[in-house]
Amino acid sequence: MSYLYFPGCSLRSTGRPYEESILAVFKKLDVPLTELEDWNCCGATAYVSIDENRAFTLAARNLALAEKMQANGNAGQDLMAPCSACYLVLEKTQHYMKSDEGVKKEVTAALQRGGFDYRGTTKVRHPLDILVNDIGIDRIARAVVRPMKGIKVACYYGCQVVRPFQTFDHAAYPVTMDRLVGALGATTVDWPMKTRCCGGSLTGTIQEAGLRLNRALLKEAVKRGADVILTCCPLCQHNLECYQKRINRKFGESINIPVAYFTQFIGLALGIPRKELGIQRLFVPLKLAETPGKEAHAHA
């Protein structure tokens, strides 16, 4: 079991702790990752809304690169895309290349001009899917050295990993992360906001609307007694974590809840040192990790 890995821009900037924790967790679980050589922008967000076919072409170049690597010594390795936006645009491109003759023609022609002959065999996977369905919850549970007992988690999936394709979980009521978190010993709170909008890029454009959406999620997580919100998307993480003070000022709230990547949480349970997981980079400190971190150390 091994995978090709597409970091995308986020994981090299605002989402650094996501990359750090993914690499550390996969290493701990002995699952090799090979970074996609010469990868480029995935084509997501602004690009898709302005010119779909060009966005698909960008995405398709990454798919074609992966296919090439699979043919040269990386056989059978699916392409892992941890950022939800990358994951979705790659999936979408794959989907339209199969189902829409127009897209297929235009993108194929562009790829050919770039020297690619893409046959459409690349499979795009999200790390949540890989961890639960390939590596398996049992195997992860066996590797836990610091059970996360007593910690209450609100699992947040965001919109893009399960919609519209539902490849590995239910579009309206996903449970994959909840099962995973449960296997680490933590409890999950019943939180009806799992896939509700985090505000997306509205927090940067029409902030009024973005913050309103954002606030509903945070408030409800606090109300349901969550100690931490876990996410699987860099934009969700950024939105939920970075605007808490502004929301408090604007709406008279007193929200202060850590928002971490689910892979950071797994890493803590597996006894990986906090620094290797980028825990120190979080703006709202993950205090609950202090005790687990020490205990994990003691176990090791």
Residues that bind other proteins (CB under 8 A): 170, 172-173, 190, 192-193, 216, 220
Q: How far is the CB of 124 from other proteins (least distance, A)?
A: 23
User: What's the chain's Rg over C-alpha atoms?
Assistant: 19
CA angle 165, 168, 169 (to 5 degrees): 85
* Whether 260 contacts 286, CB under 8 Å: yes
CB of 300 to other proteins, least distance (A): 40
Q: How far is the CB of 163 from other proteins (least distance, A)?
A: 12
Residue 28 or 196 with smaller CB distance to other proteins: 196
Pick 199 or 234: Cβ nearer other proteins: 199
**Residue 197 phi, psi (nearest 5):** -65, 135
Nearer to other proteins, 29 or 197 (CB): 197
196 vs 281 by CB, closer to other proteins: 196
Nearest to 78 by CA among 119, 117, 37, 126: 126
* Residue whose C-alpha is closest to residue 4's, from 174, 135, 125: 125
Among residues 193 and 286, whose Cβ is nearest to other proteins?
193
Shortest Å distance, C-beta 196 to other proteins: 9
- Rank residues 173 and 283 by Cβ distance to other proteins and give the closer one: 173
CB of 202 to other proteins, least distance (A): 17
Q: How far is the CB of 95 from other proteins (least distance, A)?
A: 17
Distance CA 6, CA 23 (A): 12
Q: Please, which residue, 125 or 215, has the CB nearer to other proteins?
A: 215
CB 155 within 8 A of CB 120: no
Residue 109: both structure tokens together: 């022609």
Q: Strand, coil or helix: what is 154?
A: strand
- Please tell me whether residue 39 adopts helix, strand or coil conformation: coil
Among residues 26, 22, 4, the alpha carbon closest in space to that of 79 is found at 4
Alpha carbon 197 to its chain's center: 15
CB of 284 to other proteins, least distance (A): 22
What DSSP line would sit under 80-94, residue for residue?
Answer: E--SHHHHHHHHHHH
Please report where in the chains the tokens 């797994």 appear, as a residue. Answer: 266
